[in-house]
Amino acid sequence: MNAVVPSLYLASQSPRRRELLQQIGVVHAVINASIPEQPAPGETALDYVQRLAREKAAAGFAQLLKQQLPLAPVLGADTLGLLDGKILEKPLNQDHAHTMLRQLSGRTHQVITAVALHSSTRQALRVSTTDVTFRELSDREIAAYWETGEPQDKAGSYAIQGLGAVFVQEIRGSYSCVVGLPIEATCELLREFAVPWWTPAAAECAS
């Protein structure tokens, strides 16, 4: 059987982003695109998430050329959470996670995902924002959640697509934005770059 040629490269190691592309039938492959992830002095959260998405896509395309792989657009994405205008980071330890989840308890925070596509001729970007409201959380369940291991490497200390779903009272906006790749915004970009979806061969994408 001939290898499936990707119509898109994903410049991300996120299994959730890959699953979302597979869900809509996009034939893709993962390409490495390591870049520094640190806000510049005075850079707003919105500017930061957009810059990272663009830089990841550009770095991925540079790798594409370096490895002399078949050319196709490269998708870069970045997601961050905001509470009171402050970025929700990955927890440093259990106490840090407890503090973040206690702050999120009973309140609404924002999740922003920027998606960029980079080809040999141009680059384009879309941004999606979703409001996520948590119910009131008890200290006991926050501690129990930490023991599951799930929040330890998650921005904001929770995963909406995992066990952390039980904390979410309401979302306003795109669910897939919170997971890490807003499908509707991504499809706008795919259409612009003539990248097809609903492709049966997507199931054959290399792991």
Name the residues annotated as catalytic.
Answer: 78
- Scanning 40-138, the segments in alpha helix (DSSP H) are 45-66, 94-104
Residue with token string 């779903």: 165
Structure tokens at 104: 């999120």
| 8 Å CB contact between 129 and 173 | yes
| Strands (E) located in the chain | 8-10, 28-30, 74-83, 86-88, 108-118, 123-134, 168-172
| 8 Å CB contact between 51 and 77 | no
